[in-house]
């Protein structure tokens, strides 16, 4: 199929050839949303798919909770929310008009001069008389030359060539409107969740030894791969997942094998689960393994299957079947084609392997590979048979701008409140949420900024403010186009905070949130709302105790410091907030944790807290003379210490007997004005006034 004939083929016929192999584009049937969702599929899984490409069908769903969601071309629910000054809509750019063969003025020919070799720019038919876009979709493509600069891109393209659905997403079918050959190549790339049109002239750089951008097909007249690669040069996205996201709009996870010591069984199961879901799985050679067993640093292998082999000594070895699509080097380590390990197997016979395929043990994979990358159009499932997938994508478009380009001053960056429903809850009582943060890059500017996503659990939201707790693991910003955060969260409210490592660096970004059910109440939180950060949960284990105490009863007391001389030993100290805590006399001694939190947006100050046991009745508030009299006799914390003051946050824990107590909270700074909240956590209800 394609271009086997000897007659000259014009541009429109070339496009007819490619689209005769791809699914025809039809109008989406307005079927029930649930039924359409069940028909949807993911990368590599055969089945019925939607066939409306490039643009969401804008079929809004009337079911409860689905308002503002539409079905995209994958049969998944999607919602776009704008919080920017510049509209981010996906619009088709018009094909350039020209009287003759079009020339792309943005193409810099001077960059093609390599090692003083002469480089020519030729049209496809000048390179091969029977040049065409695509020859055969059934062919498994290879590339003999390893180009470390575009290795990740080439492997992505080789995988893309095996899926006609994904291929048509980047190769639009506007060939019908082209009456004659105009020298224009049209493709589409996904950037921050938006499909963008890219037009280039179809000139390709050629040296004496062939195409600089190369073709990865046995059919040397096939031109779509070098043309796509030339068009992609302006994107400057080099990491494998970044390339995958640009070509497919999908997502993925990168497992850094050097981060910690992985169990081979865990890695084997992770790969096997991904392959059973039909996902793309690849791995790349680490720098320290360059030259070891014929490996080349940065080379990417495609993982195709998992095989378990039993040795004659009764040991089970987990093998990974891989394919080397680029380069002619062959793995020569353990369990390679001619290695002696196969003689130790119970089945003393090597499995059948296709060209460029080989086996490697999972132990060797962990030792010699830098990372494993699992790619999909939606986040993969944690286990097979799970009905709830991440079928809903909520895309938030925002910007770091002005005082909200705060860098590492986390909570001064843009903040978005979301609510995770309990409808997608799993056996562990949690919901899987995947958050992708992607920064905007332009073809003319390639300065990347390191970025990261912080996720906070919102404990309470009221008219006074919001109390949150950071649930993100410790980490640093990554200088990448996009970063992924995957968590298992209990249902409730959460605050998403995207940030960079540079203050006053303005840039646009997109947050894609993948959930099994619709997100509700997505809204922007500005700095007028006080936000207080908690750092401790609702359980505590005292020294010498055999079990943890659960502090599930929580009391919130909001207030504001607004004193000129309310600091420690100041003239207005007694005017600081005072709280009366009553432990019922019928109750036993109990563990009580106090958390004194201040507004994160206000200037820093040391804050203080002391608790006193009242042996006789005293009218509130206590006078300064009475406070001075009992100041040196406070209730001690459970560890015997006296909790005085601390910077920005204080959380003393006490074991209190029944009775009445008085607590004083202060800010040790003159002329200080700030909102605060005293959070009291205890195992049963108590009275706080």
Catalytic residues: 150, 324
CA nearest 654: which of 526, 576, 551?
Answer: 551
Q: Is the separation of the CB atoms in 498 and 511 below 8 Å?
A: yes
> 647, 661, 666: which is closest to 603 by C-alpha?
647
Residue 598: which of 681, 677, 680 has the closest Cα?
A: 677
> Which strand (E) or helix (H) includes residue 1?
none
Mapping DSSP onto H, E and C, the string for 437-501 reads EEECCECCECCCCCEEEEEEEEEEECCCCEEEEECCCCCCCECCCEEEEEEEECCEEEEEEEEEC
Beta-strand pair 507-515/466-470: unpaired
- Structure tokens of 475? 């980490």
Q: Which two tokens stand for residue 61?
A: 């769903």
Tell how far CA 643 is from the center of its chain: 41
Degrees (nearest 5) of the Cα angle 94, 95, 97?
Answer: 115
Please give the backbone phi and psi of residue 630, each rounded to the nearest 5 degrees, phi first: -105, 5
> What HEC string does 260-271 produce?
CCCCHHHHHHHH
**Rounded distance between C-alpha atoms, residue 277 and residue 376, angstroms:** 9
DSSP string for 582-612: EE-TTS--EEEEEEEEEBTTSPP-EEEEEEE
CB 480 within 8 A of CB 448: yes
Q: What are phi and psi of 178, to 5 degrees?
A: -90, 105
Q: Quote the tokens at residue 38.
A: 């069940």
Question: At 33, which helix (H) or strand (E)?
Answer: helix 33-39
In total, the chain counts a number of residues equal to: 689
Q: Please check whether residue 339 is in contact with residue 215, taking contact to mean a CB–CB distance below 8 angstroms.
A: no
Closest CA to 320 of 378, 364, 261: 364
Per the CB < 8 A criterion, the answer to whether 248 and 169 are in contact is yes
Check: CB of residue 605 under 8 Å from CB of residue 562: no
Please report, for residues 50, 566, 595, the alpha-carbon distance to residue 573 in angstroms, rounded to integers and kept in the order given: 69, 4, 20
Q: By C-alpha distance, which of 257, 254, 259 is closest to 243?
A: 254
Secondary structure of residue 367 in the 3-state scheme: helix
Neighbours of 406 (CB within 10 A): 20
Torsion of CA 486, 490, 491, 494, to 10 degrees: -60
- Distance between first and last Cα of the chain: 82
The strand pairing partners of 442, in sequence order, are: 445
> Which token pair is 219?
């059919």
Q: Is 558 helix (H, G, I), strand (E, B) or coil?
A: strand
* CA–CA separation, 531 and 528 (whole Å): 9
């Amino acid at each position: 199929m394609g271009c086997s004939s000897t007659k000259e083929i014009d541009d429109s016929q070339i496009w007819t050839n490619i689209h005769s192999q791809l699914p025809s584009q039809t109008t989406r049937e307005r079927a029930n949303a649930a039924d359409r969702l069940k028909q949807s599929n993911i990368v590599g899984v055969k089945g019925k798919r939607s066939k409306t490409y490039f643009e969401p069908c804008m079929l809004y769903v009337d079911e409860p909770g689905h308002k503002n969601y539409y079905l995209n071309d994958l049969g998944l629910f999607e919602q776009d929310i704008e919080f920017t000054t510049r509209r981010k809509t996906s619009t088709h750019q018009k094909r350039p008009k020209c009287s003759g063969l079009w020339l792309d003025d943005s193409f810099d020919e001077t960059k093609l001069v390599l090692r003083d070799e002469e480089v020519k720019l030729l049209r496809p038919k000048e390179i091969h008389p029977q040049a065409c876009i695509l020859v055969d979709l059934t062919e498994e493509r290879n590339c003999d030359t390893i180009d470390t600069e575009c290795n990740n891109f080439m492997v992505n393209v080789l995988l893309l060539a095996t899926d006609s659905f994904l291929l048509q997403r980047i190769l639009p079918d506007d060939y019908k409107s082209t009456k004659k050959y105009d020298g224009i190549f049209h493709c589409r790339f996904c950037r921050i969740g938006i499909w963008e049109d890219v037009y280039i002239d179809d000139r390709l750089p050629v040296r004496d030894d062939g195409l600089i951008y190369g073709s990865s097909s046995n059919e040397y007249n096939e031109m779509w791969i070098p043309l796509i690669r030339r068009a992609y040069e302006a994107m400057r996205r080099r990491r494998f997942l970044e390339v995958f996201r640009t070509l497919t709009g999908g997502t993925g996870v990168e497992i850094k094998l050097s981060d910690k010591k992985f169990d081979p069984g865990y890695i084997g199961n992770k790969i096997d689960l991904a392959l059973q879901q039909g996902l793309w799985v690849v791995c790349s050679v680490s720098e320290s393994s360059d030259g070891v067993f014929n490996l080349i640093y940065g080379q990417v292998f495609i993982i195709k299957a998992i095989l378990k082999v039993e040795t004659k000594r009764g040991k089970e070895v987990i093998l990974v079947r891989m394919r080397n699509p680029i380069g002619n080097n062959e793995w020569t380590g353990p369990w390679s084609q001619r290695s002696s390990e196969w003689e130790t197997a119970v089945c003393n016979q090597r499995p059948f392997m296709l060209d460029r395929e080989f086996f490697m043990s999972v132990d060797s994979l962990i030792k010699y590979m830098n990372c494993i990358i699992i790619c999909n159009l939606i986040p993969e499932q944690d286990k097979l048979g799970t009905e709830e997938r991440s079928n809903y994508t909520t895309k938030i478009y925002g910007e770091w701008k002005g005082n909200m380009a705060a860098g590492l001053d986390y909570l001064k960056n843009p903040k978005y409140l979301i609510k995770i429903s309990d409808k997608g809850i799993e056996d562990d009582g949690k919901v899987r949420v995947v958050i992708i943060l992607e920064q905007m890059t332009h073809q003319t500017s390639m300065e990347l900024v390191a970025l990261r996503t912080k996720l906070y659990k919102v404990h309470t939201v009221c008219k006074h403010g919001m109390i949150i707790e950071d649930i993100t693991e410790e980490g640093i910003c990554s200088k990448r186009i996009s970063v992924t955060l995957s968590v298992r969260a209990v249902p409730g409210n959460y605050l998403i905070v995207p940030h960079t490592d540079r203050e006053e660096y303005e840039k646009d970004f997109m947050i894609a949130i993948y959930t099994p059910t619709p997100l509700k109440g997505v809204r922007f939180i500005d700095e007028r709302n006080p936000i207080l950060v908690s750092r401790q949960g609702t359980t505590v284990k005292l020294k010498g105790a055999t079990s943890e105490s659960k502090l599930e009863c929580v009391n919130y007391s909001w207030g504001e410091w607004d004193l000129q001389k309310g600091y420690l030993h100041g003239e207005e100290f007694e005017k600081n907030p005072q709280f009366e805590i009553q432990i019922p006399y019928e109750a036993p001694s109990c563990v009580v944790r106090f958390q004194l939190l201040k507004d994160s947006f206000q200037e820093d100050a040391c804050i203080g807290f002391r608790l006193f046991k009242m042996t006789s009745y005293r009218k509130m508030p206590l006078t300064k003379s009475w406070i001075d009299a009992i100041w040196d006799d406070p209730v001690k914390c459970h560890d015997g210490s006296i909790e005085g003051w601390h910077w920005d946050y204080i959380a003393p824990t006490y074991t209190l007997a029944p009775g009445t107590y008085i607590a004083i909270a202060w800010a040790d700074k003159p002329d200080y004005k700030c909102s605060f909240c005293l959070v009291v956590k205890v195992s049963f209800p108590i009275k706080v006034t």
